Structure 1
Amino acid sequence: MIKILFIKVNPIGTKNLRLGNEENEIRNALQASTNRDDFEFHTRDAVTIEDLHRDLEQIKPNILHISGHGNKEGVLFFNDSEGYKKEINVLEFCDYLNNYKAHVTCVFLNACFSLNGIDTLEKQHAHIIGMRDEIPNDTAVKFAKAFYTSHFNGKSVEESFNTAKSIVRMDDYDEDLIPKLLASEHLIKKDDDDDKLGESKLRLISEAEIENAKIESKQNIKEFTIWMIVLGTIAVIGTIFSIIYDQGKFLTTVSSAGPTSIIFFPFRWRMTEKECINAIAEMGIRRLQFLERPQLSDTEIETFNKQFFKIRELKLKRWIK
């Protein structure tokens, strides 16, 4: 389960950003997605640093999304205890988030100038999405909606970012007004897994490959079922023919037993394909569990990939036995 913590920060005295609209767009994208059961979406309003600390400890989000205000000095605004703005240095804030590298894999700072001071940050433990300049609120909402629409439907953080950036760019915005991604080298291994399968030990098999394997097995089941029907029909016709034209039992037995026995082979193969689909589904669940972790060892990734590739091979061995 991938957890998203959506923080709305609009302190007293700051411009009203209508952050509820952004929340609604993201919720609608989640409800319309094919993978909505794989995500938890939590929201918080008027958050202080103390509130955020509690939520990070209790919810343990994978994606921390903060929508609000920032300024050119590299400051993010949070609420103080009375609802007014409290200025937090964005570099210090990112350093604080390193305490949650066990589960936070993406930080989405949907606020103006939110990358000021950290655009040269190196070796961060999470992907960071933010703005180098002031950005219109409508654009920020459009980008967030496009990003989550892609992410909820199976794309990685990097792929979702690139898709959303392309959508915003088509509105002819200046490049400086388009959100930026500071990709974590630490996590690229997990996200860059959809080009080719099995070429690198450092890349997990992709969700698309898992889905394609299930589709292939389902197609095989259809083909085996057709063969069973054809052979069964032949067996029945042969039996009827033998009964009518052969008074002895020998021809009747041979003509019916032959095709009937042949049915056993596609039937057994069909049942093994069903076992294969179940095994592939379990691999898909394990993959999602892997993606919730900040880092996997090369050995874990290599072992997982080998197990997936051997499903078809093991299926054939079981069939032969």
Structure 2
Amino acid sequence: MGDVIFGNKQVGDVLNGGNKYVVNPGPASSPPAERRVILMMSANPVTTQPLRLDEEHRAIDRAVADAQASHLLEVRAATAVRLEDLQYALLRHRPAVVHFSGHGDPVRGIQVTDDRGLARSVPPDALSRLFEILARGIDCVVLNACFTEAQASAIARHVPCVIGMRGGVLDKSAIRFAAGFYQGIAYGSSIGTSFELARNGLDLHGVPHSDVPQLITQPGADTRTVIDR
């Protein structure tokens, strides 16, 4: 009679009272799928207009929870972001989606904070280069801040899908857009469909600026990408 190895593997036969039967080890267990990260980076320098960034974070987190997609998607936050945090956050969290919430300037780009909490501009060319270096694994970047269309276009040279704002956007519009976009993502809709749902949500709720968000794609990119699959 051969040997019996207990666990997930069994070799040989087992004798019980003269009766011979084969032990069925059952299916081997597979490791749980790694959750994809939505990284919400935000900055509201003391010298700029106050924004309800906590409400935007809550809306994104709730969208994932309500869709029961927490086993597929994980929302992480990096608040009061400074220049030195940009590389660190991308390296540490390895996100599938990078979401920036805060202020933007048509010339100087998005605004982060310095050591005193004051506004500090992120050089647009340097930000685009950062995403060129760390683009692997990133499916989408969302610049949910005023006047970020040009910056989104530069980042889209390296990332498949980038959302930027064509002009100024009200705080309530930014929050509603984020809620609609991530609701679509959490329920398994593609980036393109989620973007259109978010803009439609602004119209449904009578919130202005539904024409401000712009989805810009890398040449050859497919907006039908689904983040959590």
Residue 225 (structure 2) pairs with residue 187 (structure 1): no
CA distance, structure 2, for counterparts of residue 185 and residue 105 of structure 1: 14
Change (3 A) 1:175 1:91: farther
Is the CA contact 1:114–1:131 (under 8 Å) kept in the aligned structure 2? Answer: yes
Residue 90 (structure 2) pairs with residue 69 (structure 1): no
Residue 157 (structure 2) pairs with residue 138 (structure 1): no
- Quote how far apart the aligned CAs of 1:89 are: 2.8
Change (3 A) 1:118 1:63: closer
User: Counterpart in 2 of 1:50?
Assistant: 84
CA distance, structure 2, for counterparts of residue 124 and residue 102 of structure 1: 9
User: Counterpart in 2 of 1:30?
Assistant: 64
CA distance, structure 2, for counterparts of residue 3 and residue 119 of structure 1: 23
Match of 2:193 among 145, 153, 159: 159
Match of 1:173 among 194, 208, 211: 208
CA distance, structure 2, for counterparts of residue 121 and residue 60 of structure 1: 17
TM-score, normalised via structure 2 length: 0.77
Is the CA contact 1:90–1:118 (under 8 Å) kept in the aligned structure 2? Answer: no
Change (3 A) 1:2 1:187: farther
Kindly, what percent of the aligned residue pairs are identical?
26
Change (3 A) 1:86 1:162: same
**Counterpart of 1:135 in structure 2: which amino acid?**
V
Change (3 A) 1:174 1:63: closer
Is the CA contact 1:91–1:118 (under 8 Å) kept in the aligned structure 2? Answer: no
Higher RCO by CA contacts (8 Å cutoff, separation 6 or greater)? 2
CA distance, structure 2, for counterparts of residue 91 and residue 115 of structure 1: 14
4+ residue segments displaced more than 6 Å: none
CA distance, structure 2, for counterparts of residue 120 and residue 60 of structure 1: 21
Is the CA contact 2:109–2:121 (under 8 Å) kept in the aligned structure 1? Answer: yes
CA distance, structure 2, for counterparts of residue 172 and residue 18 of structure 1: 16
Residue 29 (structure 2) pairs with residue 19 (structure 1): no
Kindly indicate which of the two structures has a greater share of residues assigned to strand: 2
Change (3 A) 1:106 1:71: same
Corresponding residue SS for 1:35: coil
Change (3 A) 1:175 1:36: closer
Corresponding residue SS for 1:22: helix
**Counterpart of 1:192 in structure 2: which amino acid?**
R
Is the CA contact 2:38–2:96 (under 8 Å) kept in the aligned structure 1? Answer: yes
Equivalences, count: 194
Change (3 A) 1:175 1:165: closer
- Quote how far apart the aligned CAs of 1:118 are: 4.9
Deviations 1:149-172 (A, max 9, x none): 010010111110011112223427
CA distance, structure 2, for counterparts of residue 118 and residue 44 of structure 1: 20
Mind listing any 5+ residue stretches in structure 2 that lack a counterpart?
1-34
> Greater Rg, structure 1 or structure 2?
1
**Counterpart of 1:124 in structure 2: which amino acid?**
H
Corresponding residue SS for 1:187: coil
Change (3 A) 1:59 1:125: same
CA distance, structure 2, for counterparts of residue 60 and residue 121 of structure 1: 17
CA distance, structure 2, for counterparts of residue 144 and residue 128 of structure 1: 14
CA distance, structure 2, for counterparts of residue 75 and residue 106 of structure 1: 18
Change (3 A) 1:59 1:118: closer
TM-score, normalised via structure 1 length: 0.56
